[in-house]
Protein backbone atom coordinates (compact mmCIF):
# COMPACT_ATOMS: atom_id res chain seq x y z
CA UNK A 1 0.00 0.00 0.00
CA UNK A 2 1.14 3.54 -0.71
CA UNK A 3 -0.88 5.19 2.05
CA UNK A 4 0.37 4.57 5.55
CA UNK A 5 -1.03 5.84 8.80
CA UNK A 6 0.64 9.15 9.69
CA UNK A 7 0.65 11.17 12.87
CA UNK A 8 -1.65 14.19 12.69
CA UNK A 9 1.25 16.53 13.48
CA UNK A 10 3.26 15.17 10.55
CA UNK A 11 0.35 15.76 8.20
CA UNK A 12 -0.26 19.21 9.63
CA UNK A 13 3.42 20.13 9.30
CA UNK A 14 3.44 19.02 5.67
CA UNK A 15 0.38 21.13 4.86
CA UNK A 16 1.80 24.17 6.65
CA UNK A 17 5.09 23.85 4.76
CA UNK A 18 3.16 23.65 1.48
CA UNK A 19 1.14 26.75 2.36
CA UNK A 20 4.23 28.75 3.32
CA UNK A 21 5.84 27.86 0.00
CA UNK A 22 2.67 28.95 -1.82
CA UNK A 23 2.70 32.15 0.27
CA UNK A 24 6.27 32.93 -0.87
CA UNK A 25 5.35 32.41 -4.53
CA UNK A 26 2.17 34.46 -4.24
CA UNK A 27 3.96 37.28 -2.39
CA UNK A 28 6.59 37.40 -5.12
CA UNK A 29 3.99 37.84 -7.86
CA UNK A 30 2.23 40.63 -5.98
CA UNK A 31 5.21 42.57 -4.62
CA UNK A 32 8.45 41.89 -6.52
CA UNK A 33 9.78 43.04 -9.87
CA UNK A 34 11.10 41.64 -12.12
CA UNK A 35 9.62 38.18 -11.55
CA UNK A 36 11.87 35.16 -11.16
CA UNK A 37 8.92 32.78 -11.29
CA UNK A 38 5.38 33.80 -12.20
CA UNK A 39 3.15 31.50 -10.17
CA UNK A 40 -0.03 33.45 -10.78
CA UNK A 41 -2.16 30.59 -9.41
CA UNK A 42 -0.47 30.28 -6.00
CA UNK A 43 -2.62 32.97 -4.40
CA UNK A 44 -5.75 30.98 -5.26
CA UNK A 45 -4.62 28.13 -3.00
CA UNK A 46 -4.27 30.26 0.15
CA UNK A 47 -7.19 31.76 2.06
CA UNK A 48 -7.07 35.43 3.00
CA UNK A 49 -6.91 34.41 6.66
CA UNK A 50 -3.92 32.15 6.04
CA UNK A 51 -2.21 34.89 4.07
CA UNK A 52 -2.69 37.29 6.98
CA UNK A 53 -1.68 34.72 9.60
CA UNK A 54 1.52 33.70 7.82
CA UNK A 55 2.49 37.33 7.34
CA UNK A 56 1.74 38.11 10.99
CA UNK A 57 3.72 35.12 12.26
CA UNK A 58 6.69 36.08 10.14
CA UNK A 59 6.77 39.71 11.27
CA UNK A 60 6.25 38.74 14.92
CA UNK A 61 9.28 36.47 14.64
CA UNK A 62 11.44 39.12 12.97
CA UNK A 63 13.96 39.24 15.82
CA UNK A 64 14.91 35.60 15.26
CA UNK A 65 16.02 36.56 11.75
CA UNK A 66 17.09 40.16 12.34
CA UNK A 67 17.99 41.09 15.95
CA UNK A 68 18.22 44.79 15.06
CA UNK A 69 14.86 44.83 13.27
CA UNK A 70 13.24 47.55 15.41
CA UNK A 71 15.84 50.12 14.47
CA UNK A 72 16.19 48.94 10.87
CA UNK A 73 12.49 48.82 9.96
CA UNK A 74 11.04 51.34 12.41
CA UNK A 75 8.21 49.01 13.36
CA UNK A 76 6.81 48.93 9.80
CA UNK A 77 5.34 45.45 9.38
CA UNK A 78 5.22 45.60 5.58
CA UNK A 79 8.96 46.30 5.40
CA UNK A 80 9.64 43.49 7.87
CA UNK A 81 7.57 41.01 5.86
CA UNK A 82 9.25 41.96 2.59
CA UNK A 83 12.69 41.53 4.15
CA UNK A 84 11.92 38.13 5.71
CA UNK A 85 10.27 36.84 2.54
CA UNK A 86 13.01 38.03 0.20
CA UNK A 87 15.92 37.00 2.41
CA UNK A 88 14.69 33.78 4.02
CA UNK A 89 11.50 32.32 2.53
CA UNK A 90 11.49 32.95 -1.20
CA UNK A 91 14.97 32.53 -2.76
CA UNK A 92 15.17 28.72 -2.80
CA UNK A 93 11.46 28.26 -3.54
CA UNK A 94 11.43 30.67 -6.49
CA UNK A 95 14.68 29.63 -8.15
CA UNK A 96 14.15 25.88 -7.91
CA UNK A 97 10.59 26.25 -9.22
CA UNK A 98 11.86 28.33 -12.13
CA UNK A 99 14.62 25.82 -12.92
CA UNK A 100 12.34 22.79 -12.63
CA UNK A 101 9.71 24.34 -14.89
CA UNK A 102 12.33 25.31 -17.45
CA UNK A 103 13.55 21.70 -17.63
CA UNK A 104 10.00 20.27 -17.79
CA UNK A 105 9.05 22.55 -20.68
CA UNK A 106 12.29 21.83 -22.53
CA UNK A 107 11.81 18.07 -22.14
CA UNK A 108 8.15 18.31 -23.15
CA UNK A 109 9.17 20.09 -26.35
CA UNK A 110 11.44 17.09 -26.99
CA UNK A 111 8.59 14.60 -26.57
CA UNK A 112 8.29 14.02 -22.80
CA UNK A 113 4.91 12.41 -22.00
CA UNK A 114 5.03 12.01 -18.23
CA UNK A 115 6.22 14.05 -15.23
CA UNK A 116 6.14 12.95 -11.59
CA UNK A 117 6.30 15.66 -8.91
CA UNK A 118 7.50 14.09 -5.66
CA UNK A 119 6.39 16.08 -2.61
CA UNK A 120 4.15 18.24 -4.81
CA UNK A 121 2.46 20.22 -2.04
CA UNK A 122 0.63 23.19 -3.57
CA UNK A 123 2.37 22.90 -6.95
CA UNK A 124 0.43 24.65 -9.72
CA UNK A 125 2.22 23.48 -12.87
CA UNK A 126 -0.70 21.51 -14.31
CA UNK A 127 -3.19 24.28 -13.52
CA UNK A 128 -1.02 26.94 -15.16
CA UNK A 129 -0.38 24.95 -18.33
CA UNK A 130 -3.74 23.91 -19.78
CA UNK A 131 -2.11 23.79 -23.22
CA UNK A 132 -0.33 20.59 -22.11
CA UNK A 133 -3.49 18.77 -21.04
CA UNK A 134 -3.47 16.47 -24.05
CA UNK A 135 0.29 15.95 -24.32
CA UNK A 136 1.77 15.59 -20.81
CA UNK A 137 0.52 13.46 -17.89
CA UNK A 138 1.31 15.02 -14.50
CA UNK A 139 1.47 12.85 -11.37
CA UNK A 140 1.63 14.59 -8.00
CA UNK A 141 2.94 12.46 -5.12
CA UNK A 142 2.35 13.63 -1.55
CA UNK A 143 0.67 12.88 1.76
CA UNK A 144 -3.08 12.20 1.49
CA UNK A 145 -3.83 15.07 3.89
CA UNK A 146 -1.89 17.59 1.79
CA UNK A 147 -3.58 16.38 -1.39
CA UNK A 148 -7.02 16.63 0.22
CA UNK A 149 -6.29 20.21 1.27
CA UNK A 150 -5.17 21.04 -2.25
CA UNK A 151 -8.31 19.52 -3.78
CA UNK A 152 -10.42 21.63 -1.41
CA UNK A 153 -8.55 24.80 -2.35
CA UNK A 154 -8.86 24.13 -6.08
CA UNK A 155 -12.60 23.61 -5.60
CA UNK A 156 -12.98 26.78 -3.52
CA UNK A 157 -11.12 28.78 -6.15
CA UNK A 158 -13.37 27.27 -8.85
CA UNK A 159 -10.27 25.89 -10.58
CA UNK A 160 -11.00 22.73 -12.55
CA UNK A 161 -8.58 19.86 -11.96
CA UNK A 162 -7.07 19.20 -15.40
CA UNK A 163 -7.65 15.79 -16.98
CA UNK A 164 -3.91 15.16 -17.08
CA UNK A 165 -3.38 15.76 -13.34
CA UNK A 166 -3.26 12.62 -11.18
CA UNK A 167 -2.92 12.52 -7.39
CA UNK A 168 -0.82 9.69 -5.96
CA UNK A 169 -1.25 9.52 -2.15
CA UNK A 170 2.02 8.38 -0.63
CA UNK A 171 4.60 9.30 1.96
CA UNK A 172 7.65 8.41 -0.10
CA UNK A 173 9.94 9.77 2.64
CA UNK A 174 8.77 7.07 5.07
CA UNK A 175 7.09 4.26 3.15
CA UNK A 176 9.05 1.48 1.54
CA UNK A 177 9.02 2.25 -2.17
CA UNK A 178 8.95 -1.06 -4.02
CA UNK A 179 10.15 -1.64 -7.55
CA UNK A 180 6.58 -2.10 -8.75
CA UNK A 181 5.46 1.28 -7.42
CA UNK A 182 5.12 2.60 -10.97
CA UNK A 183 2.26 0.16 -11.60
CA UNK A 184 0.51 1.06 -8.35
CA UNK A 185 0.82 4.77 -9.19
CA UNK A 186 -0.55 4.25 -12.67
CA UNK A 187 2.63 5.31 -14.44
CA UNK A 188 3.46 4.12 -17.93
CA UNK A 189 6.93 2.70 -18.61
CA UNK A 190 7.84 5.61 -20.84
CA UNK A 191 10.47 8.35 -20.64
CA UNK A 192 9.61 10.18 -17.41
CA UNK A 193 10.86 13.28 -15.65
CA UNK A 194 10.78 13.31 -11.85
CA UNK A 195 11.18 16.37 -9.65
CA UNK A 196 12.35 16.14 -6.05
CA UNK A 197 12.44 19.67 -4.62
CA UNK A 198 12.87 20.69 -1.00
CA UNK A 199 13.08 17.06 0.13
CA UNK A 200 16.65 15.74 -0.08
CA UNK A 201 17.87 17.74 2.94
CA UNK A 202 15.42 15.96 5.24
CA UNK A 203 16.24 12.36 4.21
CA UNK A 204 19.21 10.26 5.21
CA UNK A 205 21.73 9.52 2.48
CA UNK A 206 20.74 5.85 2.49
CA UNK A 207 17.06 6.77 2.11
CA UNK A 208 17.83 9.07 -0.82
CA UNK A 209 19.91 6.36 -2.47
CA UNK A 210 17.14 3.79 -1.99
CA UNK A 211 14.50 6.17 -3.31
CA UNK A 212 16.56 7.05 -6.39
CA UNK A 213 17.20 3.39 -7.17
CA UNK A 214 13.57 2.34 -6.92
CA UNK A 215 11.97 5.20 -8.81
CA UNK A 216 14.25 4.59 -11.79
CA UNK A 217 14.40 0.78 -11.80
CA UNK A 218 11.44 0.38 -14.17
CA UNK A 219 11.99 3.57 -16.14
CA UNK A 220 13.58 3.57 -19.61
CA UNK A 221 16.81 5.30 -20.61
CA UNK A 222 16.38 9.04 -21.07
CA UNK A 223 14.20 9.36 -17.97
CA UNK A 224 15.56 12.01 -15.62
CA UNK A 225 15.24 13.88 -12.35
CA UNK A 226 15.51 17.51 -11.24
CA UNK A 227 16.44 17.96 -7.60
CA UNK A 228 17.98 20.44 -5.22
CA UNK A 229 20.50 19.48 -2.57
CA UNK A 230 22.61 21.07 0.16
CA UNK A 231 26.38 20.96 -0.18
CA UNK A 232 28.91 19.90 2.42
CA UNK A 233 28.97 23.38 4.02
CA UNK A 234 25.33 23.25 5.13
CA UNK A 235 26.03 22.89 8.85
CA UNK A 236 29.00 25.31 8.98
CA UNK A 237 27.94 28.09 6.59
CA UNK A 238 26.02 30.90 8.26
CA UNK A 239 25.08 32.74 5.07
CA UNK A 240 23.88 36.27 4.46
CA UNK A 241 22.10 37.56 7.60
CA UNK A 242 22.82 34.06 9.06
CA UNK A 243 20.00 32.73 6.89
CA UNK A 244 21.52 29.29 6.30
CA UNK A 245 21.99 28.87 10.03
CA UNK A 246 18.39 30.03 10.57
CA UNK A 247 17.10 27.53 8.00
CA UNK A 248 18.83 24.65 9.79
CA UNK A 249 17.61 25.83 13.20
CA UNK A 250 14.01 26.27 12.00
CA UNK A 251 13.95 22.76 10.56
CA UNK A 252 15.14 21.35 13.88
CA UNK A 253 12.64 23.43 15.87
CA UNK A 254 9.88 22.22 13.56
CA UNK A 255 10.66 18.58 14.34
CA UNK A 256 12.08 17.78 10.88
CA UNK A 257 15.83 18.32 11.21
CA UNK A 258 17.98 18.52 8.11
CA UNK A 259 19.98 15.32 7.74
CA UNK A 260 21.91 15.25 4.49
CA UNK A 261 24.45 17.36 2.69
CA UNK A 262 26.76 16.26 -0.12
CA UNK A 263 30.00 17.03 -1.85
CA UNK A 264 29.60 17.10 -5.62
CA UNK A 265 31.54 13.82 -5.82
CA UNK A 266 29.11 12.20 -3.37
CA UNK A 267 26.13 13.39 -5.40
CA UNK A 268 27.78 12.17 -8.60
CA UNK A 269 28.28 8.73 -7.00
CA UNK A 270 24.69 8.62 -5.73
CA UNK A 271 23.44 9.28 -9.26
CA UNK A 272 25.84 6.71 -10.70
CA UNK A 273 24.51 4.09 -8.27
CA UNK A 274 20.98 4.75 -9.58
CA UNK A 275 22.18 4.47 -13.20
CA UNK A 276 22.11 8.22 -13.88
CA UNK A 277 24.56 10.78 -15.19
CA UNK A 278 24.50 14.45 -14.17
CA UNK A 279 23.48 16.41 -17.26
CA UNK A 280 23.45 19.86 -15.63
CA UNK A 281 24.64 21.13 -12.26
CA UNK A 282 23.97 24.66 -10.99
CA UNK A 283 26.08 25.92 -8.10
CA UNK A 284 24.87 28.82 -5.89
CA UNK A 285 26.95 31.11 -8.13
CA UNK A 286 25.28 29.72 -11.25
CA UNK A 287 21.85 30.14 -9.68
CA UNK A 288 22.69 33.72 -8.70
CA UNK A 289 23.74 34.53 -12.25
CA UNK A 290 20.78 32.84 -13.92
CA UNK A 291 17.94 34.00 -11.67
CA UNK A 292 19.05 36.86 -9.42
CA UNK A 293 21.64 38.96 -11.20
CA UNK A 294 21.16 42.74 -11.39
CA UNK A 295 18.42 42.77 -8.74
CA UNK A 296 18.20 45.76 -6.42
CA UNK A 297 16.12 44.05 -3.70
CA UNK A 298 17.10 41.39 -1.14
CA UNK A 299 16.44 38.36 -3.35
CA UNK A 300 19.61 36.36 -3.97
CA UNK A 301 20.69 32.73 -4.43
CA UNK A 302 20.85 30.76 -1.19
CA UNK A 303 24.32 29.74 -0.06
CA UNK A 304 24.93 25.96 0.00
CA UNK A 305 21.94 25.05 -2.27
CA UNK A 306 22.60 23.43 -5.68
CA UNK A 307 20.34 22.20 -8.51
CA UNK A 308 20.87 19.09 -10.61
CA UNK A 309 19.30 17.57 -13.71
CA UNK A 310 20.42 13.94 -14.01
CA UNK A 311 19.49 11.51 -16.79
CA UNK A 312 19.25 7.70 -16.81
CA UNK A 313 21.84 6.09 -19.07
Give pLDDT tens digits for 121-171. 999 999 999 999 999 999 999 999 999 999 999 999 999 999 999 999 988
d(CA 159, CA 153): 8
Supply the pLDDT for residue 222. 96
Asked if residue 37 is part of any domain, the answer here is yes
Count of domains observed in the chain: 1
Per-residue DSSP letter, 87: I
Angle at 273 between CA 3 and CA 104, to 5 degrees: 65
**Is the Cβ–Cβ distance between 170 and 163 less than 8 Å?**
no
Supply the pLDDT for residue 7. 35
Q: Which domain holds residue 303?
A: 8-312
Angle at 15 between CA 310 and CA 83, to 5 degrees: 80
Supply the pLDDT for residue 198. 93
Asked if residue 159 is part of any domain, the answer here is yes
> Among positive and negative, which fits the CA dihedral 125, 41, 76, 250?
negative
* pLDDT at position 178 over 70: no
* pLDDT at position 186 over 90: no
The SS3 of residue 146 is helix
Any idea what the CATH number is for the domain that residue 163 is in? 3.40.50.150
Asked if residue 3 is part of any domain, the answer here is no
d(CA 205, CA 158): 41
Asked if residue 105 is part of any domain, the answer here is yes
Q: Whole-prediction pTM value?
A: 0.93
The alpha-carbon radius of gyration of the chain (Å, integer) is 19
Asked if residue 2 is part of any domain, the answer here is no
Asked if residue 1 is part of any domain, the answer here is no
Supply the pLDDT for residue 3. 30
Asked if residue 31 is part of any domain, the answer here is yes
The pLDDT tens digits of the residues spanning 73-88 come to: 999 999 999 999 999 9
Order the strands of the 165-169 sheet from edge to edge. Answer: 165-169, 137-142, 114-118, 192-196, 224-230, 305-312, 276-282
d(CA 268, CA 262): 9
Amino acid sequence: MFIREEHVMSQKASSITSLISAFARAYHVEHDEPLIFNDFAARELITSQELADIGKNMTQGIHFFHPDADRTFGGQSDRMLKWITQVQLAPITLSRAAYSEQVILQETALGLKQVVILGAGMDTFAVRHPELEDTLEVFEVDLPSTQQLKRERLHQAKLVIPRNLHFVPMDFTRDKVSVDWTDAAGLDKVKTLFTLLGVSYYLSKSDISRLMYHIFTEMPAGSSIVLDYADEHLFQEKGQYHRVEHMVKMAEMGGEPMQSCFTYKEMEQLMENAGLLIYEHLTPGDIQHRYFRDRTDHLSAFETIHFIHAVKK
